[in-house]
Structure 1
Amino acid sequence: MDWGFVHKAWEKWTSINVGSSTGEPLKAALLINYDPNAPSRLLSIIAEQEGINAVPTEVSQFVDFVKRNKLHSENFTIGQNQYVVTSIHENCFCARSLTTSKPAGEGAIIMQTSAFLLVALYDGSIGAASRAMVAVDQFAWQLGRRNL
């Protein structure tokens, strides 16, 4: 795994897609080193994060949620919000916050690549979710180019 490439790609991608101004599609993103086939003693780690201060225990609980693969029957927590999965796709799933105070809502897109889980958080509803999915796809495509 080329960590230098991953870091550069992350920095470039987050500078365009993650932020608090209205132009960015994401409010936060988290990249978790994740290999579902690795021995259980090899813990997932936070590789990168932007706009969020995730802690290892929180990430560990989230990774356990993903590994259990009961996406439609359980909820998960990231940051201050609890999420329920709304749709599952081939290599990603989408969720909406159950605990948001924002009128338009908040959502999450979680995409799995060969070596990472990318967690993207956004504010809003359908239009915001579409923009967030495009941003997530772009980053996953960059990582996939290097066969990570």
Structure 2
Amino acid sequence: MDWAFVHRIWEKWASNSVGSPGLPLKAALLINYDPTGPSRLLSTIVEQETVKADPMELSQFVSFVKRNKLQAESFFIGQNQYLVTSIHESWFSARCMNTSKAAGEGAIVMQTAAFLLVGLYDGSIGSASRAMVAVDQFALQLSRRNL
């Protein structure tokens, strides 16, 4: 694994996509993930931007993804509970169930060969579209290296 490459493209991508007003994502996480690997291999947080994820909570999120019962269960990231609203081949989207924000909050979760990329955003349909484009741009960079 070329960790220097992953870190370099994360830093560039995050500075243009995450955290500041006007950018498509309010927060993002990159988690190493191998669904075919032995269960003793724990997923870890590789990168995170504007969110402090708890490793135990994240292990529950990774278990949620591995169980692949996306429409039957919900998941947590931090204090927010999400319900999956759309499932596609290598990604899914979810809406926050306990938000206090009038426009809502959502998540885009994309799986690459070696990672789960989670993008969190505020807003509704337009914001979700912008978030999806941002997450897809990073995943495309990873896929060029088969990551």
TM-score by length of 1: 0.98
Partner of 1:20: 20
Tell me if 1:124 matches 2:123.
yes
Residue 147 of structure 1 deviates from its aligned partner by 1.1
Taking the aligned partners of 1:56 and 1:19, their CA distance within structure 2 comes to 21
CA deviation string 1:18-64 (max 9, x = no partner)? 0131x200000000000001111000000000010001101100000
Partner of 2:10: 10
Gaps of 5+ in 1: none
Residues in 2 aligned to 1:84 and 1:13: alpha-carbon distance in whole angstroms: 27
CA root-mean-square deviation: 0.5
Which position in structure 2 is the counterpart of 1:108? 107
Alignment of 1:1-148 (within 5 A): 1-21=1-21, 23-148=22-147
Distance 1:2 1:56 in 2: 22
**C-alpha distance in structure 1 between counterparts of 2:20 and 2:53, whole Å:** 17
Equivalent pairs, count:
147
| Runs of 4+ residues over 2 Å off in structure 1 | none
Give 1:145 shift.
0.6
Q: Structure 2: where are the runs of 5+ without partners? A: none
